[in-house]
Structure 1
Amino acid sequence: MSAGSSQLRQNQPEWLPPMLATLTEPRALPEGWVYEPKLDGWRCLAFVRDGEVKLFSRNRKPLNESYPGIAEALASRARGDMVLDGEIIAMDGERGVSSFSLLQRRMQSSSVQLWLFDCLFYEGRDLTRLPLGDRKALLKDVVQFGGPIKFTPALNGSFAALYRDACRRGGEGLIAKRAGSRYTAGRSGDWVKLKCVNTQELVIGGWTEPQGSRTGLGALLVGHYDGDGTLHYAGKVGTGFDQRTLEDLARRLGRIERQRSPFGAGVVPTRGSLHWVAPTLIAQIGFAEWTPDGMLRHPRFPGLRDDKAPREVVRERRATAVVTSRRTRSVR
């Protein structure tokens, strides 16, 4: 389907829920899948209409005020009305990979970029039922890429070589997508995450007092929600902070402190200088592995997230299988 194909025109939607990838074990996928770099930033859906750009996070939080330069650049480079999907990132120039911790520090910096990877709607035409390959081809036609607006390419090479290179450079890993897949809202087995490192969004339920020369706080007490809505304790996170982050977290947590622990499951600490908070802040945590009793091993703190509701934070588990064949019809 080209930009000029005939199809009944529709009103451009005000919102489209994003398609989300499923975590699975890193491995080569069969013919018919393509690999893209796994970007470590803010998911961003861009709605362009009459020359005006509105940027939203995956939970529909407006992003224009945080990234005015991105909105301005896309407005000058989008050829028509459209809905696009991508990721706002900060690139680590030395390693050649995106970095969430850098993005936290460079929200208004010229080094922030928008990497687009899908086109969902164009000039009154719903593209979500088209195969991925057709949507990406149209994306290249309708956006003039350059400056902070980047095209996310399909990577050439074997899975082993691509995955090894991403991990060697300290990247997040790869995203694999079924080339013939439609764009569907929510979690899908047609897009899968092949991670180099373990990361997990976790809810902050408290903190410990700093020790020695450290100021601000000692460690974050974090957890995730279980299926019954109980906040499950998952461990202490005491590394990954710089001084500015420690001070900022101490201020934020002090405003939401409360008397009782929000955790209802897990081995919750009871000794030491513990402070509890209302479970409203979400941290992105990197870690080595989950222990058999559901605790984080060697966790570290890259930054806070606010593109998800706390009660949506559940433990992410790897899928044991990926569907390897599926017929996908294109729009006629």
Structure 2
Amino acid sequence: MPAVDRINRQWVLARRPIGQVRVEDFARRDGPVPVPDLAAGEILIRTLMIGFDPAQRGWMDEGASYMPPIAIGEPVRGSAAARVVASRNPVYPEGAVVRGLFSWQDYSVVALRGEPAPVLVAPDVTPEEALGVLGGASLTAHVGLNQVGGLRAGDTVLVSGAAGAVGSVAVQIARLRGARVIGIAGGAEKCRWLVKDYGADAAIDYRNGDVAERLAALAPNGIDLFFDNVGGETLEAGIAHIARFGRIVLCGAISGYNDVTPAPGPRNLSRLIAQRAEMRGFILLDHMDHVPAARAELTAWLRAGQLRYRVDIQQGFEAIPATFLRLFSSASQGKQLLRVE
């Protein structure tokens, strides 16, 4: 059947979420598949698998950020693995699988002008690996720890959100680099993962204990490097226990992504002065020159059995919005993915 006769299913942003994101913030829309009358350099892709990241919640808000907001009525932007079904670009032959920042729809024309170029997925890499352990979350962990945080052997490293897609890889990278690692996660099961599966030296269950008290016991000499995915009270506890000349890397702040009114910031920022500590936010897009080397090292660790990961794969195009919401509950178990077909 010609591509023009098929349906292009889309999930678009129906309204800007207020507070907690809801399924009703999205709308299903069908349209024709883009006619593959491509301009030079363009490709037509069909989505195979979608990856979900907490940062997408921020892109749904109006206002300035490191990426433009998703427009009302526009397919929701997100990471995906897709097959090239038509191409006028020799770098991306028909039939190749690519990974990139695409959108919640079956078919997309990728113009490759003024946007990050898709990455060709090697034949021995599955879509799950391309979006998960070798995808943006793991690259964020690698770059954040090494290039931004200056990870060193012998550091005491604290990772919040440590059972998530970014945090679980950050824990393992720190361990592989010879650091002592403490992870923070929600629930006894996730804390068991951190120690048994990911090699953390200790885990703190923020739901069933006082994080600050546990840090005092586990890191009496302070935290050398804090990789924070959570913000809020967790960031405040990390600042309270930062070592002299310690480094804090701000990767995310998921605790506040659905707040209607922003929560007050950490009340103890003056401790950074006393400890001569650094605190820095970062976005992976600013460090793309380090991505090839980071991906190569992650791949080597994975194939050598030194890097473990979990994926939570949901099924079916209709389940896309509900799958995104799993990120903001205890439902998600590892990197959140959805297989379109």
Report the TM-score when normalising by structure 2: 0.28
Higher strand fraction (1 or 2)? 1
Higher helix fraction (1 or 2)? 2
* Structure of greater relative contact order (alpha carbons < 8 Å, 6+ residues apart): 1
